Amino acid sequence: MFLSILQIIVAVLLIILILLQERSSGLSGVLGGGEAGSSYQTRRGLEKLIFYGTIVLAVIFVILALLNLIK
């Protein structure tokens, strides 16, 4: 029961972090404010923290799913 609740919490946090990540499809990309031919962008500051947090939460989610499977 505890693992299932923890997995739901991690899933919700993972969804939030994924939705917070920006891509060039935002308003600046639509209006031409972004770089035209470049798809590579260096992550800095909070964007880097969100990116690594997403990876960590995804790994935790997979581990919890496997633990729930063998439980």
- For the stretch 9-58, pLDDT in tens is 999 999 999 999 877 555 555 555 555 555 667 888 999 999 999 999 99
How far is Cα 39 from Cα 25, in angstroms, rounded to an integer?
Answer: 11
At residue 37, the pLDDT reads 56
Q: Are 3 and 61 in contact (CB under 8 A)?
A: no
